[in-house]
A and B are shown apart, each in its own frame.
Chain A
Amino acid sequence: MGVRLILKNSVLTAVLSGEIDHHSAREIRTEIDSTAAKVKPETLILDFSAVRFMDSSGIGLIMGRCKLMQAWNGLVEIHNLPPNVERIVSLAGLESLCTIKRGTVDESAE
């Protein structure tokens, strides 16, 4: 449960897993931000493929990371939303803040 970070060619990928709620979001946020602030990546990818549950705390998490990345004109992409997570994300209308990639994206591919 939590987050695994992969840095490659100025793209920081955060592979999220488990359940994202107000409790777990705090730890995930700290992990991502401490690395992102150091490397200032051009793009931050949030990969939700292994997320089993997410409530609106996850929306706050996404919005917060978008704000952080704006500090150096970086972009945020959201990948691999499971259907139940997608429902919450569409409710929030995040399209103006970040790019939501539909369909499966293999993070290990070049």
Chain B
Amino acid sequence: MKALNEMELSFPSCSANEGFARAAVSAFVAQLDPTVDELCDIKTAVSEAVTNCIVHAYRSTIGIVYISCRIFENGRIVVKVRDKGCGIEDIEQAMQPMFTTAEGERAGLGFAVMESFTDRLHVSSRLGKGTSVILEKTIRRRPAENGQ
């Protein structure tokens, strides 16, 4: 299916860009007139995915984080967050709530939050090649106002 609209962005994996990434996706999907809650769900899921790239995929190095966002018919949004970092050895284990390989204060809830705040989450990864996370969410159509 062809996207009605799409955007791509890439940026270095500095933690200062976490806020930029979720704000950029949020600004792009605003054209679908989402509710505050729907927008917050998307921002949170994107923030988790981007943080994973920064904390896990690239660890103490700086690499590039790639985001693409596509809008389809009926308010369906597909956000892809991709890195060329270390990859995930065991995706099933990584997706378990409270599981983390990171040092310091990581709750291990990144994937659990992404799963709970979107309609569909797909993760694919290759060791040494990188990881790609696809987040899908449909913005519910509200009754048209002003004869849209």
- Please list the residues of chain A having a beta carbon within 8 angstroms of any beta carbon in chain B: 19, 21-23, 25-26, 29, 53, 55-57, 59-61, 63-64, 84, 88, 91-92
Contact = CB atoms under 8 A, between A and B. Distances in A.
Nearest to A56: B109
A56 B115 CA distance: 13
A19 to B, nearest CB: 6
B113 A57 contact: no
Interface size bracket, B side: 20 to 34
Interface string B95-109: 000000000111101
B105 A19 contact: no
Contacts of B16: 23
B92 interface: no
Interface stretch (B42-50, B69-77, B132-140): B42-50
Contacts of B15: 21-23, 26
Contact of B19 (A21, A64, A84): A21
B19 A22 contact: no
Contact of B113 (A23, A53, A56): A56
A55 B112 contact: no
Contact of B107 (A19, A21, A53, A59): A59
Contacts, number: 62
A23 B18 contact: yes
Contacts of B54: 22
A23 B54 CA distance: 10
B116 A60 contact: no
A55 B105 CA distance: 13
B43 A53 contact: yes
B37 interface: yes
A25 B44 CA distance: 15
Contacts of B104: 60
Contacts of A57: 51, 105-107
B55 interface: yes
Interface in B20-64: 22, 37, 40, 43-44, 47-48, 51, 54-55
B87 interface: no
A10 B124 CA distance: 49
Given A22-B15, A22-B54, A64 B105 contact: yes
Contact of B51 (A19, A22, A59): A22
Nearest to A24: B19
Contacts of A61: 105
